[in-house]
Structure 1
């Protein structure tokens, strides 16, 4: 139990270290919630796309702002309040008139409402529009028993199993029935999930595999036999001749399996 707690503490610290160092950022598809009054504009490359509020977007996930996203705030008939800002590594934006606002994990519509409320102190019925001008880079982290652990770019449709493949596959000592996925989707308390991906390619129901979102951390622990083998390699093999070393491994593995 203490071993599992140590793993979770390490993952939690790793996540926040990456955030504070500005290594993580988030990007996803722009979407609107049904019933919004104003149109939203998304600048993608050099083309501006207008998404009308009356379009049928039911069932589609709403885009939530991430690290490194560049947003523009416009106030109708009050250009002196217009600003353009980037979401900082701490998840906040700073506006001259509205102060600091936690933007990470919120939709543009929610930021619109927060800014409108603050500008109501200075203006009468302010009409605020929040535009996402540029998306940050989406990344995820994979640690533990994979051949190439590290930071990888997150593409649409990336799952835990595909992430493992992107990292060169798992090692021979990967504990695939106890994979840990840590997620901090709304920049509050992290969500830690334990996954069992053994025999998943043969499973006709892929519900056990999960889609990744930006800044997810995947940790694949080492099996008990892997830990034991590492112990033998580090300590026992230095004291015992190779034939006896192999004999000792065989005895220990047989007892474990039985």
Structure 2
């Protein structure tokens, strides 16, 4: 079957794109291992080229060591795969076992470096870091924030006790400053969002998430809109002051709500 010049150019272009993608994936995988710091529980694949009897899989012990043929105990915890490669090469040469060994170390299972994702996410729990991971990576692993429950600002709690606020609205809008790098031992906590209540002459009275810039008109829309008897001109906000005393305010559609406000929509006069 004859293939037109246009089809050949299309195939050639697709092949080039695939090669570029494969190349990028290869570099990404290499970078992931280069950034990673080994720890207890990680499974390694060590290849000693030309010496299959010295190649194999080893798991990092609780003490941070691996036991390797001819060499014995090797401390690897806190080191990158590249550093372990150099360490093994040196041990083989200094022990007189190999003259010019070529060694590669690949991480098969990432078990040691974990980050916790807690609070109002789909799948809270601990997740293993496989590379230089960031807030978006661990949020995705946890299934993302629960939209009707999660607050707009979350806390990244570092292993050293420090806290970094993360603005999810800015993060999802593409702000790179909010996509902080996370490390083993960090915890990302997604708190519950502040709430407000809407009752009276609305279609779906109840409790709702207080979003940024939530006005009385938007709150009524959240509640399904007005009933046939309801009026946006007869809305009262019930709000507690600092001492806990409840105060009532006549509200306009453009008024902003605060956390725990109760919006009461009354019947129209006509």
Per the normalisation by structure 1, the TM-score is 0.46
Higher strand content, 1 or 2: 2
Structure exhibiting the larger radius of gyration computed from Cα positions:
2
Higher helix content, 1 or 2: 1
